[in-house]
Structure formats: C-alpha cells, structure tokens
C-alpha cells in the first residue's frame, strides 16, 4: 500500500508504494517491483493532479497518466519512510528476511528488490529466472547502509538534523529508527557514502513510525 506522501518545494509529490507481496513466502508477484508499468515497489513522483512529471525517467508524453510516467525509482520492497534532500531522496526500505536498508535514491535508480536485498542476492528469490536474468543485465544501486534483519527488525526512515544546535557528532546527521527494535540511530552521510557506522542515540523509545524536525530544530518521533 501507500506509505509516505512527501510534498516537494516545486509542487510535485513523492509517493512510496510497497510491493504488495506476502512476506511469509516467496511471492512471484513482487517481481512487479522491477516493472515500470506497475506502481508496486516504487517511489512515484506526480503533479498535484496525479499525473507523471515530464522529467521523470520513464515519462511517456503520450500518456502522462500511465504508471511508467509516474515512476521516479523502482526495485523497492517497502519504502515506508523517506525524506527529500536536494535532488535525491534518503529512503528507509523495510527488508524481508535478510537486510534493512538506508538508500540514497535518485531519478531512475533501480534498488534491486526482489532479486537483491542489501548488497547481495535476495534469499528465496535468487533462483527465479527473472532474477537470474537480472544478475546478468541489471546494475542496481547498493544501499548506503544496511543492517541484518534477523531475528527481527523494521527500519523507519528518518530526517536530517540541523547543522547547528546539536552536539557536534549529531549536527547535520541523518536520524532514523527501527520500529521492532525500538531504537534511534544517527548516521552521517557524505553524498552517497556513509561516514562510519550509525551511532545508537536512543533505546526503548517506543515504536517509532515517523520523524520530523520542528521549526525550532527539535527532533520529534511519532510512537505507534
């Protein structure tokens, strides 16, 4: 289903859509996450009227209502929460059984799901003919950070802290959480590169499902 809906300064909307598959088994339907003709497993970018934006990577000027015209990036499992920074998104993509991901996503990116999870072949899907073909032909974008799913995890993508007003290690850091593990971490990013490992800054914080920074720079977390 639909997750985050984010309004950009140019008036367009970014919309995260999960793959719609069943997590408990290998579900061939989730291969649609790699198909630009389907909305599932994507981040869409649309006008306020719901049409595709002309500079989207798969835009068809003959059919701006087509799903491909609306696709910004594909190959995601569950882009539950994300934030916009410049011309790219920073996305928390909830994993299936192997990895939870933080992705830096630009227009046209293929994030690999369901053939890849983390930076390697996805357990359960690697043997499918469509994935064997993808391993020969596709060039997915690796996560900027990934951590193992087991025994249970669910990443909640976060926000960037202000460049001042926080202790030096946290200024400008990307703060994200985990819904199952009830944790909050801070990760410093330099473009598409993680600067070290995320710092654990909160435990037993409840069930974080959304992060926001208020007008005064205060970090807020929604607890489910």
Contact, 223 vs 208, CB < 8 A? yes
pLDDT at res. 206: 96
Q: Give yes or no for a cis peptide into 166 (omega within 30° of 0).
A: no
pLDDT at res. 169: 87
Alpha carbons 224 and 215: distance in angstroms, whole number: 23
Alpha carbons 112 and 16: distance in angstroms, whole number: 16
Residue whose tokens read 């994993």:
95
Task: Name the pTM for this structure.
Answer: 0.96
Contact, 88 vs 106, CB < 8 A? yes
Convert the pLDDT of each residue in 103-135 to its tens digit: 999 999 999 999 999 999 999 999 999 999 999
- Which of 185, 36, 187, 24 minimizes the C-alpha distance to 103? 187
Mean local confidence (pLDDT), 191-205: 95
pLDDT at res. 150: 84
pLDDT band at 24 (very low <50, low <70, confident <90, very high): confident
pLDDT > 70: percent of the chain:
100
Contact, 188 vs 172, CB < 8 A? yes
């Amino acid at each position: 289903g639909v997750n985050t809906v984010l309004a950009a300064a140019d008036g367009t909307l970014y919309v995260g859509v999960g793959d719609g598959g069943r997590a408990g088994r290998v579900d061939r339907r989730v291969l649609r996450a790699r198909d630009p003709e389907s909305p599932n497993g994507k981040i869409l970018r649309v006008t306020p009227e719901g049409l595709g934006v002309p500079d989207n990577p798969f835009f068809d000027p003959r059919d701006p209502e087509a799903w491909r015209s609306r696709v910004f990036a594909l190959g995601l499992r569950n882009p539950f929460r994300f934030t916009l920074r410049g011309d790219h998104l920073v996305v928390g993509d909830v994993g299936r059984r192997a990895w939870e991901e933080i992705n830096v996503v630009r227009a046209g990116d293929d994030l690999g799901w369901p053939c890849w999870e983390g930076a390697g072949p996805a357990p359960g899907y690697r043997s499918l003919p469509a994935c064997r073909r993808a391993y020969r032909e596709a060039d997915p974008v690796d996560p900027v950070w990934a951590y193992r799913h087991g025994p249970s995890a669910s990443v909640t993508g976060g926000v960037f802290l202000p460049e001042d007003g926080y202790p030096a290690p946290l200024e400008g850091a990307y703060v994200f959480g985990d819904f199952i593990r009830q944790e909050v971490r801070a990760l410093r990013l330099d473009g598409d590169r993680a600067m070290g490992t995320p710092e654990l800054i909160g435990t037993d914080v409840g069930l974080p499902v959304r992060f926001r920074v208020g007008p005064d720079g205060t970090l807020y977390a929604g607890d489910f």
